[in-house]
Amino acid sequence: MMSTYNMVKQEFIKKWITTLHMLDCSVEHPLNVTERKNAIKLSSDIAMAAARSGSTVWSRALISRSGNKTANKPVARRILKKARNRLKNRCLTLRRNGNFTAKSGVRKRTELLKSLVPGGELIKNKDYLIRETLDYIVYLRAQVDVMRTVAAVDSVTGNLTNDNK
Amino acid sequence: MATFSYFQNYPHSLLDPLLFPTPNSSVDITGIIDQNILHSLPDVSKIEDTSVYPFLDEYNNVDKTESDSFKKQANTTKTATTGSSSCEQLNNGPSTTTINGKVRRRNIKNDSNSKEGVEGRKRKIQRSDVKEKRGSKEEPPKDYIHVRARRGQATDSHSLAERVRREKISERMRTLQKLVPGCDKVTGKALMLDEIINYVQTLQNQVEFLSMKLASTSPVVYDFGSDLDGLILTSEMGSPDVGTSFTNAMPTTTPIFPSLLDNSIVHTHAQLQEGGGEEREKFVDRSGFNDNSFCSFP
């Protein structure tokens, strides 16, 4: 179990570095902290979904969602707006139609889970939703582990460079 | 132009935004994503292939041969059971539907269908195909799920289907229990879903927090992308020749890279090796990486 998990993390790291570079070229410097954070999060989301790169709903939904944020040319933005609206409308109608009178706690919770997992609203079958959630959790955990490690190294190197000054 | 041809074939796909990387777009994220993700786009409602989710097998120890072994047994037992079980079905049909409130109350329908042909214990997930397939095949195709009815249980196809579905869901729940920490003590779907939702929210919040932390604590001196790369690599590397492998892997190096190589990687790495031996061990243990295996970029 651990070996595939490590492979997941390695895959994620490779993709993350690549996406960071790509974003780096496309964004104007200097960035303030919020912009940096958004770029880091965006790149890591894209990397996570790309590392999965299978036929899971969540990875494709995440890519499409992230793809909206990277476009900064007017033509691309206009085209993306159309697709984005389509996706958004589906989600919105789903939310409007429920002031969902949840028949039981399970129903309410599955609705909530659908809103959490990217692309979850589009999955009708509860069985598939749970499968998607499982897969998503694995990759999410890998993302968190990698970021935590990097942040820890960051603090250590910060201390070391401060000491040397 | 594979992406454009794909768009014409699947106009309603979820990936529509991804398909419009015009030549003007600054970021082409199709570069990093395998082309498989664009070409293989199964319908959401028809995801039946369990190989899509490779991790589930590992976590679950699923024995896929079990379902295949039932194939032969189902064929041999069908003739024996149809005669004797017809009476049982009449009795068991109504009773099983009352026990589990979720099974639809189709008592009369169930009886009539069961008389015609519970020839296989075959069951496809999509209900619309049941009536067609029932009387037809002896050698079922591979995507059928074969269930053998146990003694004293209803053998009509609808309750079999329900049972299969319930078993799948419970199997998934078990896998989730292994993945989500602290889920063993919880029983019942609602509470389990609670735990899952909680966990997913926690992980997402952690990602937010960590990305904020990375954004704020990275030194402002370096360029945006490069400093993080240095950090990511130093957290993994076990060998001093990290610099060379890094430059080989990244053809699109910004001009700041030479300085990066001079300063951060080798320097901090050496320091990590000398002084922070303990911390480094902690990182390696935490990340669980094999030091040498990381150096190979595609």
Per-residue pLDDT tens listing for chain A (165 residues) = 677 888 888 888 888 888 777 777 766 666 778 888 888 888 888 888 877 766 778 887 887 777 777 654 443 344 344 444 444 544 444 444 444 455 677 888 888 888 888 888 888 887 788 888 888 998 999 999 998 888 887 777 767 766 665
Please tell me which residue, B13 or B201, carries the higher pLDDT value: B201
Q: What contacts A89, CB < 8 A, 6 or more positions away? A: none
Split at pLDDT 50, 70, 90, the class of B274 is very low
User: Most confidently modeled of A96-100, B44-48, B84-88, B290-294?
Assistant: A96-100
Q: Do A150 and B214 touch (CB under 8 A)?
A: yes
Does B25 contact chain A (CB < 8 Å)?
yes
pLDDT in tens, B134-149: 444 445 455 666 666 6
| Interchain CB distance below 8 Å, A151 and B210 | yes
Write out the two tokens for B75: 């064929």
Q: To the nearest whole number, what is the mean pLDDT of chain B?
A: 54
Residue-level pLDDT at B100: 42
Question: When comparing pLDDT for B69 and A103, which is higher?
Answer: A103
CA gap B142, B128 in Å, rounded: 18
**Contacts of the segment A49-54: beta carbons below 8 A, 24+ positions apart:** A49/A139, A49/B33, A50/A15, A50/A19, A50/B29, A50/B32, A50/B33, A50/B34, A51/A8, A51/A11, A51/A12, A51/A14, A51/A15, A51/A139, A51/A142, A52/A135, A52/A139, A53/B33, A53/B34, A53/B36, A53/B37, A54/B36, A54/B37, A54/B52
Rounded alpha-carbon distances, angstroms, from residue B216 to A35, A160, B48, B235, B246: 10, 17, 44, 18, 25
- The band of B216, judged by pLDDT with boundaries at 50, 70 and 90, is confident
Sort out which chain B residues have CB atoms less than 8 A from A106's CB and list them.
189-190, 193
Give the ipTM: 0.77
How near does any CA of chain A get to the CA of B288, in Å?
Answer: 7
CA distance A159 to chain B (A): 11
Q: What is the pLDDT of residue B205?
A: 93
For B24-38, the pLDDT digits (tens) are: 444 444 555 444 444
Q: Which of A44, A56, A131 to mutate to test the interface with B (most CBs of B within 10 A)?
A: A131
Give the tens place of pLDDT for each residue, B147-168.
666 677 777 888 888 998 888 8
pLDDT at position B207, please? 92
State the pLDDT at residue B149: 66
Compare all CA atoms of chain B with the CA of A70 and give the residue at the minimum distance: B27
Whether chain A has a CB inside 8 Å of the CB on B205: the answer is: no
Give start and end residues of each alpha helix (H) in B20-146: 36-39, 54-60, 65-99, 107-117, 130-133
Whole-number Å distance between alpha carbons of B161 and B159: 5
Q: What is the pLDDT of residue B143?
A: 61
Nearest residue of A to residue B59, measured between CA atoms: A1
The pLDDT-based confidence of B200 (bands split at 50, 70, 90) is very high
pLDDT greater at residue B183 or residue B198: B198
Q: Is B221 on the interface with A (CB under 8 A)?
A: no
Cβ neighbours, 10 Å, residue B222: 18
Q: Give the pLDDT of residue B234.
A: 63
Task: Categorize the per-residue pLDDT at B80 as very low, low, confident or very high, splitting at 50, 70 and 90.
Answer: very low
More confident call, B14 vs A159:
A159
The predicted structure's pLDDT at residue B206: 92
Q: Find which of A159-163, B3-7, B285-289 is predicted with most confidence, using mean pLDDT.
A: A159-163
Compare B4 and A117 and report the one with higher pLDDT: A117
Chain B, residues 242-281, CB within 8 A of chain A, namely: 250, 252, 254, 264, 268, 271-272, 275-276, 279
Asked if A124 lies within 8 A of B44 by C-beta distance, the reply is: yes
Q: Tell whether the model's pLDDT for residue B17 goes beyond 90.
A: no
